[in-house]
Structure 1
Amino acid sequence: MSGAQLLELENVTRSVLLPDDSELQILTGIDLSVSEGDHIAIVGRSGTGKSTLLNILGLLDRPTSGTLAWRGTDAARLSSRRAAAARGRDLGFVFQQFNLLPGRTALENVMAPLMYSSGRDFWQRRRLASEALERVGLGSRLDSLPQTLSGGEQQRVAIARALVRRPRVVLADEPTGALDVATGLAVMQLLDEATVESGAALITITHDSNVAALARERFRLEGGRLHPLVQEVAR
């Protein structure tokens, strides 16, 4: 069951100015509500604006028009500092290419977000990171470097890193794109279970209908708008 509302997008558009002074419309009217505990999948082909929408959902970019509310506050009123603080505290990101720090162990990679914390999270960062890796089944690989881990294991490290600060929203951008089908589905099931356990909302951006089928609410991004999916990716 969904909890408190976290993100609310109403008629959000995003356009960019091209070198010839013409305007390219990427998003033409996005409506989306995200609450605690939601698992939402957004499916779309390359070039449909998935990354642009992800950046807006992650408070990395602002709409050209329309309203984006973060926990009831119009995001347009958030200063750069407050938006950055919200990203660090309340938003977790999982990417297709893992983005792990080379030369750093799994434990050090998961500890990295906690280096910018204060109080308990900072002083107990090693324990919190160890517990996060235990939850994703990598308690025996704390001292392993990324290059010694399989693709699925690297993605699990990335999931632990995204969850270690107990975010309210996890944004997963093509999280299985670099994995084989079986490993990708196992990773998505793990990510879903981990966010359910923590009560976080999970938003998955994907081109894979099998990955989208794991979500409880599904949309296709097409023509700059979100269209509900029922039959296409039904279980």
Structure 2
Amino acid sequence: MVELNQVTRTVRLSDDQSLDILRGVDLSIRAGDHLSIVGRSGSGKSTLLNILGLLDLPSAGEMRFAGQPVASMSEKRRAVARGASVGFIFQQFNLLPGRTALENVMTPLLYARGRQFWRREQLAAEMLDRVGLADRMREKPHKLSGGEQQRVAIARALVRSPKLILADEPTGALDVETGQAVMALLDGVALESGAALVTITHDPTVAGLAHRHFRLQDGRLHVGVLAA
């Protein structure tokens, strides 16, 4: 599904110096994979997630998405692939403040076609029910707790049954019991659809649920290390 070969991400600083955020990252993600990535703040985890989700491009190296070289894809083509195949769970939630929970979850379906588009309200309501928010779907984000907002964000990410789920601290705003339920939901949806699930987390318990484990340190990806 996704292949990274010696991927580097470099940014230019205000003093015209360059900073290597990612350094020669190799990673292959297959359908049905569940992998976790741990690392300290500033280690490049979010940058890697953005590259995997086609929000950002490598500065060097090769990346393939669904077999296609990303370097040869136009911005529009990347956006279409991202909308159809990738579900993001952002640490900051990124909910639309003036929209209800139901409307927020419906948003990705506005770009769908056929039955998904016409059934968008029903699909959004069903997904909110699955994350335990059936009785809160008409509320706007400012009326929801941080944990409820997180579950709305998760429902929004899953509503199109994406082939690649990218979760940035998906249980960070949740209590232990709700966090376990959410991870069970993510695993269940991924299993049902054959999707790959990539989880960035500081929580070793959440990381331990994955089949493969990685640690990002100094811009390099190390295999099989849980401790951050």
Query: Which deviates the most, 30-39 or 195-204?
Result: 195-204
Question: Does the 8 Å contact 2:101/2:136 carry over to 1?
Answer: yes
Q: Which residue of 1 aligns with 2:110?
A: 115
Does 1:40 find its partner at 2:31?
no
Does 1:190 find its partner at 2:185?
yes
1:45-194 equivalent positions in 2, closer than 5 A: 45-194=40-189
Q: Superposition RMSD on alpha carbons, in Å?
A: 1.9
Displacement of 1:18 in angstroms is: 2.2
Q: In structure 1, what residue type is equivalent to 2:214?
A: F
Partner SS for 1:67: strand
Question: Does the 8 Å contact 1:16/1:23 carry over to 2?
Answer: yes
Q: In structure 2, what residue type is equivalent to 1:83?
A: R
Question: Does the 8 Å contact 1:152/1:187 carry over to 2?
Answer: no
Q: In structure 2, what residue type is equivalent to 1:52?
A: T
Deviation string 1:50-83 (CA, Å, 9 cap, x unpaired) is 1111111011111111111001111001100000
Q: Which residue of 2 aligns with 1:3?
A: none
What is the CA–CA distance in structure 2 between the aligned matches of 1:189 and 1:51, rounded to whole Å? 23
What is the CA–CA distance in structure 2 between the aligned matches of 1:152 and 1:178, rounded to whole Å? 5
What is the CA–CA distance in structure 1 between the aligned matches of 2:19 and 2:3, rounded to whole Å? 24
Question: Structure 1 residues 231, 115: CA separation in 2 closer, same or farther (over 3 Å shift)?
Answer: closer
Question: Does the 8 Å contact 1:152/1:184 carry over to 2?
Answer: no
Q: In structure 2, what residue type is equivalent to 1:10?
A: N
Partner SS for 2:135: coil
Q: In structure 1, what residue type is equivalent to 2:37?
A: I
Displacement of 1:192 in angstroms is: 1.9
What is the CA–CA distance in structure 2 between the aligned matches of 1:98 and 1:211, rounded to whole Å? 19
Displacement of 1:223 in angstroms is: 2.1
Give me the identity figure in percent.
64
Question: Does the 8 Å contact 2:127/2:159 carry over to 1?
Answer: yes
1:8-47 equivalent positions in 2, closer than 5 A: 8-47=3-42
Q: In structure 2, what residue type is equivalent to 1:123?
A: W
Partner SS for 1:140: helix
Question: Does the 8 Å contact 1:189/1:214 carry over to 2?
Answer: no
Gaps of 5+ in 2: none
Q: TM-score, normalised by structure 1?
A: 0.89
What is the CA–CA distance in structure 1 between the aligned matches of 2:34 and 2:217, rounded to whole Å? 20
Equivalent pairs counted in the alignment come to: 228
Q: In structure 2, what residue type is equivalent to 1:134?
A: D
Does 1:206 find its partner at 2:201?
yes
